[in-house]
A and B are shown apart, each in its own frame.
Chain A
Amino acid sequence: MATAEKQKSDVMLDYLIPQKKFPSVWCPGCGNGIVMGAFIRAVDKLEYDRNDIAMVSGIGCTSRMPVYLDFNSLHTMHGRALAFATGVKFAQPKMKVVVITGDGDALAIGGNHFIHACRRNIDITCILINNHTYGMTGGQGSPTTPSDAISTTTPFGNVEKHFDPCDLAKSAGASYVARGTVYHYPQLEKIITAALEHKGFSLVEVISNCHTYYGRLNKKGDAPAMLDMFKDLSVTKAKAKNMEQEELENKFVIGKMHEDNVKTEFCDEYKKIIDKQKG
């Protein structure tokens, strides 16, 4: 359906579910909308048949995204999206399975499923919107809340260390790993497109703003101020190579972190067993 003439806004409207009563549950200025836009345009550009797309999510603000989109949408349980998605993909490998998740959903309650989906290298694209907090429940600390940051459950500063989702995914076995931010839109669309086209488990971590809770509690300003902050704190992969670890403290390294096109994919490997056993 991609046409050169199609206006950007038309593309969005084309993929939004007409029956669902808008507005969305997201606060004005939420980064989720930017990620949704990038995802829709990537899907449109790739000309996927939307009947073959299953969008699976868990619980949280981010996880509401599939509900607004005209795909096969599976809005599941807190933390379990990747486990449901594994069932969908393995049962029906022709489907393009996309998991949309947040930092609490994917890395706290869903941490086990996250590393095992990476380990299997099953052909699922996981878009992890990292806003460093639990937005839906009102701004509690998450596994990506930076040390010393204020949240409603770390009112005197976070004494814990945070996960780096990209490092975690890479070491667990994911074969495509990239990080973007909601400020760097063109790059975001590009890496989501690359992740969708990649065969194997792909992770796109998107640094996003929850100005309503994380921003307010940590005096980071409103949505535009937080986007500016992402701009200032981001360092490209190429530039980061020549920087010291200390200099990269509290910075976001963005771009493609890892790609392995040789590693075998789970469903393909199982298909070989079926072919052999069926004889």
Chain B
Amino acid sequence: MANKKKKLLQGNGACVEGAIYSGMTFYAGYPITPSTEIAEGCARLLPKMGGRFIQMEDEIASIAAIIGASVTGRKALTGTSGPGYSLMQESIGYAYMTETPIVIINVQRGGPSTGLPTKVGQADTMQARWGTHGDYNAIAIAPSTVGECLTETIRAFNLAERFRTPVTVLLDEVMGHMREIIEVPEKGDHEVFNRVKPTASHEEFEAFEMTENLVSPMASYGDGYRYNVTGLTHDTRGFSTNRTDESIQKLDKLFYKIENYKDEIFKSRVELVEDADVVFISYGTVSRAALQAMQIARKAGAKVGSIQLYTIWPFDYDMIKKATANCKTVVVAEMNMGQICHEVKKVLDPSKKLETVQRYDGEIITPMELLEKLEEVL
């Protein structure tokens, strides 16, 4: 294999590279620490390839602009952090309802409110699932290396385009700012999925038709398929409805188009769980510490395994159940006061002990802390 081009990049920069690799040509955003390098990278790179960058007046405007851009057929991105992600929630709901593919990168910091802007946190994990009002199904993914920031951003765009839905990439301050040398992929190295376009005649076209996989082909504004897009509950033609049967059909469509294909959305890294007494469960930056702690413990003769979640939502309950079947203790490590540990608890066999390592002081969880926890539970 020929030597790949290498680059020293921050996580935020790798997300930009991944988005551009995916064919993203539209970015709208608002400056916020620790995500701003994503906007700056897009401002610099997009015009060079004919793309468009705009700094909007706030995060609400930013996400509205990318939804507008997506409706015209462009792949569109925004990047933000906690306060901005909160402001975007109503519009994320609009994107769910209108089935508009967009990608949001949330570089998490300490919260609530302004919190710890320059420090690390993972406390928006539940917000990525339940942030906007109403019923819907969410996709959120979390990389743990700079290289994965690139590849997971590509995956985020593929999922957004395939399922016509917003996708959140959950980074954290450390992930966004850490620099690593990564391989720059060439064309063809990664699959790039583009939204399915309609083939129906203009007369027969239904913008939100019920298809076998529940994802309707998406026409772009200007293509000649003139149709209505609304945040109101709507029928298959996009017209608002109060009918109970049509309301159920719409909400089921939003939920099951993801639920029915969740096996293809799940992604995790499961290591050495077969004989493990203790299994770590983690995601994002914390997974680096968990893997290292596992290796150190194994060298010392302790039977430790690790589950790293790349796909946070939808949550892979079956995998957790299976991968923890042989262990005695599960240690969920996350940089919040306990979010994913509650999902784990839902499926964990009552005979197993559930332990947690949590930090919400703006500092990362270290391998040392996890090893200390191991000493306590082993």
Contact = CB atoms under 8 A, between A and B. Distances in A.
B-side interface mostly:
mixed
Contacts of A243: none
B72 A92 contact: yes
Nearest to A74: B229
B140 to A, nearest CB: 22
A116 interface: yes
A91 B232 contact: no
Contacts of B232: 75
A88 interface: yes
Interface stretch (B52-60, B106-114, B312-320, B330-338): B52-60
Given A274-B47, A277-B48, A84 B67 contact: yes
B91 interface: yes
A-side interface mostly:
helix
Scoring B57, B66, B74 by chain A CB atoms within 10 A of each residue's CB, the highest score goes to: B57
A17 to B, nearest CB: 8
A121 to B, nearest CB: 14
B221 interface: yes
A274 B71 contact: no
A90 interface: yes
Contacts of A273: 47
Given A270-B47, A277-B48, A278-B47, A76 B222 contact: no
B127 interface: no
Contacts of A236: none
A86 B226 contact: no
B165 to A, nearest CB: 17
A77 interface: yes
Interface in A63-89: 66-67, 70-77, 80, 83-89
A86 B54 contact: yes
A119 B202 CA distance: 38
Nearest to A59: B231
B68 interface: yes
B251 to A, nearest CB: 18
A84 B64 contact: yes
B68 A94 contact: no
Contact of B57 (A54, A88, A116): A116
A277 B53 CA distance: 13
B224 A113 contact: no
A171 interface: no
Contacts of A77: 64, 90-91, 94, 231
A239 interface: no
Nearest to B26: A91
B222 A277 contact: no
A50 interface: yes
A274 B64 contact: no
A67 B235 CA distance: 13
Given A80-B91, A83-B60, A88-B72, A67 B65 contact: no
Given A72-B222, A75-B231, A77-B90, A278 B50 contact: yes
A85 B28 CA distance: 13
A278 B50 CA distance: 7
B281 interface: no
Nearest to B219: A72
Nearest to A270: B52
Contacts of A50: 226
A56 interface: yes
B25 to A, nearest CB: 8
A274 B94 contact: no
Scoring A71, A83, A277, A278 by chain B CB atoms within 10 A of each residue's CB, the highest score goes to: A83
A87 B56 CA distance: 10
B222 A80 contact: no
28 contacts: A17-B228, A72-B226, A72-B227, A73-B226, A73-B227, A73-B229, A76-B67, A76-B231, A77-B90, A77-B94, A77-B231, A83-B56, A84-B68, A86-B54, A87-B66, A87-B67, A87-B68, A90-B26, A90-B69, A91-B68, A91-B69, A92-B221, A95-B221, A95-B222, A116-B57, A270-B54, A273-B47, A274-B52
Give 3 closest A-B pairs by Cβ, nearest first.
A87-B68, A87-B65, A91-B69
